[in-house]
């Protein structure tokens, strides 16, 4: 099966809300509702079935201005990401999230960009077949 190419334009956003707007723009079609603003919803969109590509259809994500996005989603954005999740997460997740937040504040561990890339390239039970092409 031929891979469909999906272009994410990193010049169109500089924060996570803008990223979600961009992926909604490029991965969905004619929805009467907005996607969830979280990584689980992003993973679901990569599976397909929302208008742009069929469920399970292999896709290549071509990410323009990738270096800019990598900077935008470095440790400061990661700290904000974990702080936001901590405000609404289940109490049982708080200790693990505090640990991740602590690491991010020390500029250690995965960045928000690392998390996004892991979701795109995940091949373990994710239900999607994605490759990533980065362009600056």
pLDDT at 126: 66
User: Measured between alpha carbons, how far is 105 from 79 in angstroms, rounded to an integer?
Assistant: 6
CATH for 66: 3.30.370.10
Tell whether 85 is covered by a domain: no
pLDDT at 1: 65
pTM, two decimal places: 0.92
User: Measured between alpha carbons, how far is 92 from 106 in angstroms, rounded to an integer?
Assistant: 23
Tell whether 94 is covered by a domain: no
Q: Is the dihedral of CA 53, 57, 63, 69 positive or negative?
A: positive
pLDDT at 125: 61
Tell whether 80 is covered by a domain: no
What domain count does the chain have? 1
Range of the domain at 42: 4-74+111-135
Tell whether 103 is covered by a domain: no
pLDDT at 123: 65
pLDDT along the chain (136 residues), means of 10: 91 96 88 84 88 88 98 98 95 97 97 96 78 96
């Amino acid at each position: 099966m031929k891979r469909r190419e999906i272009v994410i334009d990193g010049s169109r956003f500089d924060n996570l809300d803008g990223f979600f707007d961009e992926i909604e723009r490029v991965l969905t079609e004619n929805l009467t509702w907005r996607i969830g603003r979280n990584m689980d919803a992003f993973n679901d969109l990569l599976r397909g079935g929302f208008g742009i590509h069929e469920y399970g259809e292999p896709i290549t994500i071509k990410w323009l201005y990738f270096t800019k996005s990598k900077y935008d989603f470095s440790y400061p954005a990661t700290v904000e990401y974990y702080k936001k999740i901590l405000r609404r997460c289940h109490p049982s997740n708080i200790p693990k999230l505090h640990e991740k937040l602590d690491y991010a504040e020390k500029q250690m561990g995965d960045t928000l960009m690392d998390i996004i890339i892991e979701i795109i390239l995940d091949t373990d039970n994710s239900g999607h077949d994605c490759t990533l092409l980065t362009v600056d």
